[in-house]
Structure formats: C-alpha cells, structure tokens
Amino acid sequence: MINVIATINVKPESLKDFIEIFKANVPNVLAEDGCISYMPTVDLETGLPPQVPMRANTVTIVEAWESLDHLKAHLKAPHMLSYKEKVKDMVDGATSIQVLQPA
C-alpha cells in the first residue's frame, strides 16, 4: 500500500466551485481498481503550536492506493483528465504530491 498527499492551491474566488467539481469526481476515483481511499480536505484551525500556518485556499487530497501502478493508472484515467480540464483555470500555481510508504 502507498499513501499520497496532494496539495492544490486554488484561486480564492474559485475555491467553492473547485471543491464541488472535485467532490463530484470522488465516486469515480473510489471505483477505480486499487483505490483504498480518496478524500479532499482543507485546513482546520486548532491552535496547536506545531501546526503550520493556515492555508485558506489550499485543498489537500489524502489518498491510499494498493500500489504505485494503481496510482499511475489513476493519473491517466479519463475522468481524471476531464476533471483536470474543468479545474485548470481555478488552480493557482503548481500542484505537489508526496507518495509515501509504510515505514
């Protein structure tokens, strides 16, 4: 199993629409072979000292996949290509991912 943390900075005026489009695609992703979990998240103010500063316009995707091959197939899936086209003008800067394995 691998875990993925994807970070997407969204233009402030587009955040609501971005999340709506993203959530509409979640069932497609969850139906993919090898997808264990796939969830969009946003920062929560907690007051905990070690927490990084709030990122008001950042959506963090928390994912789990059976294998790296499953993740690679996900990135090429037709519904992902369609999603990327729909949100391309909403994204503010580069998207980053961290691919992690159990220690």
Which positions ≥6 away from 102 have C-beta within 8 Å? 1
| Cα distances (Å, whole numbers) of residue 89 to 5, 79, 81, 84, 85 | 22, 17, 14, 9, 8
What pLDDT band is residue 94 in, cutting at 50, 70 and 90? Answer: confident
* Average pLDDT score over the chain: 97
pLDDT at 22: 98
Residue carrying the six token digits 């691998």 = 2
pLDDT digits (tens, 9 = 90+) for 15-53: 999 999 999 999 999 999 999 999 999 999 999 999 999
Q: Under CATH, to which class is 2-44+54-100 assigned?
A: alpha beta
Percentage of residues in the chain having pLDDT higher than 90: 97
